Amino acid sequence: MTAATQSNEPPKLDNIAEFFAQALAIEVEATERYNLLADQMEVHNNREIAAIFRKMAMIEGEHRNEIARRAGDALVAGRPASFSWIGPDGPEAIDCDDVHYLMTPHRALMLARFNEERAVRYFEAIAAAATDPQIAAFAAEMAAEERDHVVWVDQWLEQIAPDEPGWDEDPDPPVHSE
Whose Cβ is closer to another protein: residue 58's or residue 144's? 58
Q: How far is CA 108 from CA 12, 28, 55, 76, in A?
A: 32, 19, 12, 36
Q: Does 68 bind another protein (CB under 8 A)?
A: no
Q: Does 84 bind another protein (CB under 8 A)?
A: yes
Answer for which of 102, 125, 140, 150 binds another protein (CB under 8 A) is 102
Q: How far is CA 107 from the centre of its chain?
A: 15
Judged by CB under 8 A, the stretch of 11-19, 126-134, 141-149, 167-175 that binds another protein is: 167-175
The least CB distance from residue 81 to another protein, in Å, is 6
Site string for another protein, 5-34 (x = CB under 8 A): xxx------------------------x--
Calpha distance 45→53 (Å, rounded): 14
Burial string for 57-73 (b: 16+ CB within 10 Å, else e) reads bebbbebbeebeeebee
Backbone dihedral angles phi then psi of residue 25, each to the nearest 5 degrees: -60, -40
> Cβ-count burial of 95 within 10 angstroms (0-12 exposed, 13-18 middle, 19+ buried)?
middle
Whose Cβ is closer to another protein: residue 85's or residue 158's? 85
Query: Where do contacts with another protein occur on this chain (CB under 8 A)?
Result: 2, 4-7, 32, 36-37, 39-47, 78-79, 81-89, 95-103, 164, 166, 169-178
